[in-house]
Structure 1
Amino acid sequence: MPILIGIILLMAMMAISQGDGILEYVNVLAGTSNSYELSTGGETPLMGRPFGFNHWSVQTEPDGQGSRYFDPSSRSFYGVRCTHQPSVWIGDYGYFLVNALISPQAFDRSQTSVSFAPLQTTYKPHYFKSSALLPDFRASAMGGVRMEMTPTEHAAFFRFSYPPGMNSRVLVRIVDGDSSTPVVLDKDGNFATRTSVNNGGVPHGFAMYIRGVVDPAPSRMHNLDGSIALDYDTAENVDRLTVHLRIATSFISDEQAQSNLDSELPAGKTFDSVVIEGEAIWRDRLSVVQFDEAKQSSRFLRTFYTNFYRTQLFPRLLGEYDEHDKVVHYSPYNGRVMPGELSTDSGFWDAYRTVYLWISFVAPDILDRLLEGWVNAYKEAGWLPTWASPGQRGSMVGTMGDVVFAWAIVANKSSHLAEEMYAAIRKDAFEEPSAGSLYGRQGLQEYAQHGFMAAHGGLSEVVSRGLNYAFADSTIAAAATVLGHHSDAEILRKRAEKALEKSFNPQNKLFEPLDTHGKWLKMNPTSWSDAYFTEASALQYRFYAPANVDFLVSKYGGKDALCGQIEEHFTKQVTPVYTADGRGVIHEETEMSLTSEDFGQYGHNNQPSHHVLGVAVAAGCFTVADKYMEKVLRELYSPEGWPGDEDNGEMAAWFMLNEMGLYEIDFGADELLLFSPLIRGDFTMALPGEGRLLRVENVHRDGCSATTSSPYVCEVHWYPSSPMESTEDDASSAFDSSVSDGVSGHGSIRGGRPHRPIPRESDAHVVLSDRRLARAELSKGGRLLFYTSSTPCE
């Protein structure tokens, strides 16, 4: 491990000499300008290690604002916040704040915030700096405090520079502290405290344990009802005073927090070395995909790497290392310390669509840990969570973790966990939970017997709920077949087919609600009624049969008719638009109304529309799919944010997959659908396994330049790699000589990652006329050759 870290640091220092390269393109502030009525991502600026135990953000709003604690336009600064908040709709837990205060007089106990200048503040995935923290908005002749922070997995390193002639304070603020909060202080600047703040999903006794130390030791240390104030007198501050704070956390114990501090930020480690280490880790993660930077626009580069960064934050891994260097975790399900990883801070309703497929390409080491972490959650809770933060929260409908586990079984991911994953999803499919349970499938017996759940029978979102159950059943059936559970597979396959058949109204060509007698209910297809649908209307769910596109082709009267309906979906505006039943208008409706003129009934601002273009390719509607895929990627994504809530990497991963021409909707088939890659020029992506590489080339048939938009796919050829040999010569030929120097920020983006050899291709190749490629085939490596055009090929 020390040798590996040394290599990473050396690579990082070499890259830093040329500038930050790809990290300069990451906009940590993207999607942070939001309100209850309108979202541009629903994000807060998050800094940390990829999939880290903690994130660190900035709080600009008073505590009473709750989960909406950051406003990018605010000049108030309440501190750097250690956060675990995955969504403003879920809330935070285990959070506290670190701030730097100055005063010409004694400190007021109530002083917790300062002012800062947003334009003098730096946000990077691995580093934060604010250059002018002041007691108020007035300028100071001496200047304000400069605060810097760089995170590790379980800790963070702060560096403060205070102006001379001022009393100076480091404040570690515990928002739920009181006189009973256990606090330890010593004269050498060591301290310990804790917080139990949460928004649910935790057992009795939950706490975040905090250990820290400052250097130099302060003049005085104060216990302010659990908060820690570390004060330096004016007399000690003749010149600018530099203070270092090392602070670490644990959900296990105070002793474990100290162990995490000693392991990640030992006394001899410098602030700058941690910055370099963090930068190297992020650079390595974001360098899996390599292409010619010179052919891309600045907007594209900033959008690409901002989305890439967002895909590397969630789900969160809560593992910690014990005294035997084994991974253990605190369980929010049973309140005990348990072996292995634990995954959290993600909802499967969002994430199943893109997150795990993308992670399997670019972070396969993380995928293995995440699957282990979700298996442990199932074992400790007795059910697979649907939305965990840190324990089960029960948000959204359906058991969509079933889709992820079934896909992992079919795709042979973490095969040693296959039977445990199957046990979890089989329980969801066959065992109805008790009434009011946060787990499993409410209404399962009714669904299994009739193929639907009747509207107004006690359950909400019945159409969406039933379609989710059917999709999960289809993928579980595929997993059951792989594992030899053929009886289960037959039951679930038939059940899924029955559910689609029952819910589809052939007259209106929509999935619609039924009453207790199985009769269609009258409804407005544009109404966002939460009695029937989840965060959408019947129009957004009309193509929601991703595991059975043949069903849609049949019900719509053939391929051409279905293609026409998908085209109309993107072009026909409906009036009245987006009425709601009884609960008021939600932000997703407002966001969709803002794009309806250009995108019709398609609502990319929310997940229920994210399968539609995949359905188009699977049905053979290639021209429609290509036309609107480019339009969505170019018009609805930007470096500043998203058309709605980004949702823990799901919307960002959708962008990443489709920019490279790869998508998947039927996770039981594990079959990739191919779009024209919109990265200009050729690119490569390192694949799991020694020497495996995917090379994608785009040949323009109509003579347009490599920098011209060419979204329509005429042919796709697949050249599988030969496992016999690979050479450096092949690797160097992936890009021309002008971009082969490997220097970040010049020519192609390399980010410190050396070329991987490209295996020689076999002479045989396959023409993929249906634009489908088995994931197992692609995972071996090879070359995808797209023949594309700026005009439709059909």
Structure 2
Amino acid sequence: MKNLILLFFSALAWGCCETPKYEISLRPSEYVTTLVGTQSDYSLSTGNTYPAVALPWGMNFWTPQTGKMGDGWAYTYGSHTIRGLKQTHQPSPWINDYGQFSIMPVRGKDKVDENARQSWFSHQSETAKPYYYSVYLADHDVVAEMAPTDRAAVLRFTFPESDESGVVIDAFDRGSSVKVLDEHTVAGYTTRNSGGVPDNFRNWFVIRFDKPFSGFRVFNGKNELKGFEAEGEHALAAVYFTTRRGEQVTARVASSFISGEQALRNLETEVGDADFETVKARAQERWDEVLGRIEVSGGTEEQYRTFYSCLYRSTLFPRKFYEIDAKGNPVHYSPYNGEVLPGYMYTDTGFWDTFRCLFPLLNLVYPSVNAEIQAGLANTYRESGFLPEWASPGHRGCMVGNNSASVVADAILKGVTPAEDVATLYEAMLAGRDKVHPTVSSTGRLGHEYYNTLGYVPYNVGINENAARTLEYAYDDWCIAQTAKMLGKDEDAKRLEKASQNYKNLFDP
């Protein structure tokens, strides 16, 4: 696809026309700051973001963690200490996280739990890019760096001279395991989640260090255990090294929602023996490719930074929730039925938030990505009987409407959807008009029996946001009607066009 070239000269779009203009001179990824929107907390949002170190639409993100374990505000700009470098899958603080664990370099064998190991840091010693993060952890005199792949990452720690240099692996509470496999490797799993998962949900991880351990310890909560393994409510491991000043220790880490074996496969295929700088360079190249699909000119450097920082945010979610098997085929753990199945799966998006802007952008600029997303939506319907409205990773109860219909219809009408999935997705849109999920009322259509007979959802039947639901359902019926027309389903189109006029029932003459 040729680059989409946008020329912005509007004073409304770019501010005063007398502002000095600059030619774009940096790689697109260099204009991005991942810290935009992080000066937030529960009481006041200025974005509710965190500095995600990731690849576009990557399965795993990494972030410095300033908040306590389980806090939806994992990183807040006003904080002064870092507790760990966390693998995260959080789409928003309100939905919170799942499958998370953290890695934290330390100096001192008493620095294990999240309060003891936290370290003061300064933003002046912090570099936050999509493809790279670096911070100086003052209490440990350690520089920590991260560079990502889709399902793995490389972390590099520059230690002081010490015989108590170490790394704490925290698999978090609510059920987890860690095991020291050999003098270079730690593996484990975490089950921590915020809902939307089957009973057999696990995120398996493996961490391989390039320096042998001089010692290690394993814990369940605050209780140190004998042996190589800890499994229980809250598993942690601490591995130790004797280091000279300035010595660098590299940790290669990957995870999988399928199995421990698949986690190792992800590590070997996405990282292998590649060093830190190689992984970092590959990640930046990928971001330049994705962000560079849109070229801007005629603005100031600050405006370029705003534009590309926002485009970075627009290409994080929905995330890949599929992996590549030994034969090179896409395969996924289903967050809907707990089975491992072939094909694509994406998650961590709410269509109430994204159907107006994000998905039309994907169709326009990144159609091959949305083709995979649509194939994943077809799989969601096959595996759960519903299209998702808010997925993280499975169906979550949040917001109103049936806007999966508009997302699916738009992709079909623009020729993005894989041909083999069109019939399934059309069936899914129609099916969603007449039912609601038995346990997640935001999935399907709550109040469909009223809407389909009266032409609106009444205010006095115990269903909140009844006017909003009526408006959303009417719009979504119009979207399905357009798809029916294109597919030659004339009777469906006529019926749905009539239903799309239900918005008029909310007007009081």
The reply to whether TM is greater than 0.5 is yes
CA deviations on 1:281-316 (whole Å, 9 max, x unpaired) are: 001111112244xx3112211111111111110001
Q: Equivalent residue for 2:126?
A: 121
Partners of 1:79 and 1:20 lie apart in 2 by 31
Match of 2:239 among 209, 212, 230: 230
Distance in 2 separating the partners of 1:495 and 1:132: 60
C-alpha change, 1:145 and 1:310, in structure 2 (3 Å) is: same
Contact 1:385 1:394 in 2 (8 A): no
Whole-Å separation in 2 of the counterparts to 1:222 and 1:78: 19
Residue of 163, 179, 197 corresponding to 2:160:
163
Instruction: Tell me the equivalent position of 1:502.
Output: 505
Whether 2:453 is the aligned partner of 1:444: answer no
Q: State how far apart, in whole Å, the 2-side matches of 1:315 and 1:75 are.
A: 30
- What is residue 279 of structure 1 aligned with on the other side? 284
Show structure 1 runs of 4+ deviating over 6 A. Answer: none
Identity %: 34
Q: Is the aligned partner of 1:372 residue 2:369? A: no
1:247 aligns with 2:247: no
Name which of 170, 173, 188 aligns with 1:173.
170
C-alpha RMSD of matched pairs (Å): 1.8
Listed as ranges, the matches of 1:733-744 within 5 Å are none
Given that 2:181 and 2:187 are in contact with CA atoms closer than 8 Å, whether structure 1 keeps it comes out as no
**2:141 maps to 1:154:** no
Deviation at 1:385, TM superposition (A): 1.1
- Aligned residue in 2 for 1:82: 87
Structure 1 residue 100 corresponds to structure 2 residue 105: yes
Q: Quick one: distance in 2 between partners of 1:397 and 1:95?
A: 28
Task: Give a deviation string over 1:438-482, Cα, whole Å, max 9, x none.
Answer: 531111121111111111211000000000000000010110111
Asked whether the 8 Å contact 1:73–1:118 carries over to 2, the reply is no
> Shift of the alpha carbon at 1:486?
1.3
Q: Matches of residues 390-409 of structure 1 in structure 2 within 5 Å?
A: 390-409=393-412
The aligned amino acid for 1:69 is A
Is the Cα–Cα contact under 8 Å of residues 395 and 440 in structure 2 kept in the other structure?
Answer: no
Instruction: State the match for 2:96 in structure 1.
Output: 91
Report the Cα distance in structure 2 between the residues aligned to 1:261 and 1:494, rounded to whole angstroms.
53
CA distance in 2, matches of 1:164, 1:436: 54
Separation in structure 2 between the aligned mates of residue 389 and residue 396 of structure 1, nearest angstrom: 13
Answer whether contact 1:83 1:94 (CA < 8 A) is retained.
yes
Number of residue pairs the alignment of both structures matches = 469
Partner-residue secondary structure (3-state), 1:186: strand
2:58–2:316 Cα contact (<8 Å) kept: yes
The answer on whether the counterparts of 1:201 and 1:392 sit within 8 Å (CA) in structure 2 is yes
* 3-state secondary structure, aligned to 1:353: coil
Determine the structure 2 residue equivalent to 1:192.
Answer: 187
- CA offsets 1:143-197 (integer angstroms, 9 cap, x no match): x10111101011110111101135101111111176xx44332333112111000
The 8 Å contact of residues 285 and 362 in structure 1, kept in 2 or not, is answered as no
Measured after TM superposition, the shift of residue 229 of structure 1 is 1.1
Instruction: Note the alpha carbon deviations across 1:191-248, whole angstroms, 9 max, x for none.
Output: 211100000000101100001111111101222232221101xxx3233221010010
Give the 3 Å change call, closer, same or farther, for CA 108–47 of structure 1 in structure 2. closer
SS of match in other structure, 1:463: helix
Other-structure match for 1:349? 352
Q: 1:194 to 1:133 in 2, by over 3 A?
A: farther
Answering whether residue 310 of structure 2 is matched by residue 303 of structure 1, we say no
| Residues 331-371 of structure 1: CA deviation (Å, up to 9, x unaligned) | 01110101111111000111111111111222222111111
Spell out the pairing of 1:497-576 with structure 2 (5 A cutoff).
497=501, 499-506=502-509
Q: Give the C-alpha shift of residue 62 in structure 1.
A: 1.9
Corresponding letter in the other structure for 1:121: E
Structure 1 residues 471, 243: CA separation in 2 closer, same or farther (over 3 Å shift)? same
Unaligned runs of at least 5 residues, structure 1: 1-17, 136-143, 507-794
Matched, 1:483 2:487: yes
1:112–1:20: structure 2 CA closer, same or farther, 3 Å change rule? farther
Structure 2 residue matching 1:63: 3-state secondary structure? coil
The alpha-carbon deviation at position 35 of structure 1 amounts to 2.9
Distance 2:138 2:483 in 1: 56
CA deviation string 1:650-673 (max 9, x = no partner)? xxxxxxxxxxxxxxxxxxxxxxxx
Alignment deviations for residues 737-784 of structure 1 (CA, whole Å, 9 cap, x no partner): xxxxxxxxxxxxxxxxxxxxxxxxxxxxxxxxxxxxxxxxxxxxxxxx
Counterpart of 1:270 in structure 2: which amino acid? D
> 1:359 aligned to 2:362?
yes
1:432–1:445 contact (8 Å) kept in structure 2: no
Q: Which amino acid aligns with 2:48?
A: G
Task: Give the TM-score of the pair, scaled to structure 1.
Answer: 0.57
The one-letter amino acid of 1:380's match is E
Residue number among 21, 40, 44 corresponding to 2:46 in the alignment: 40
Structure ID, larger Rg: 1
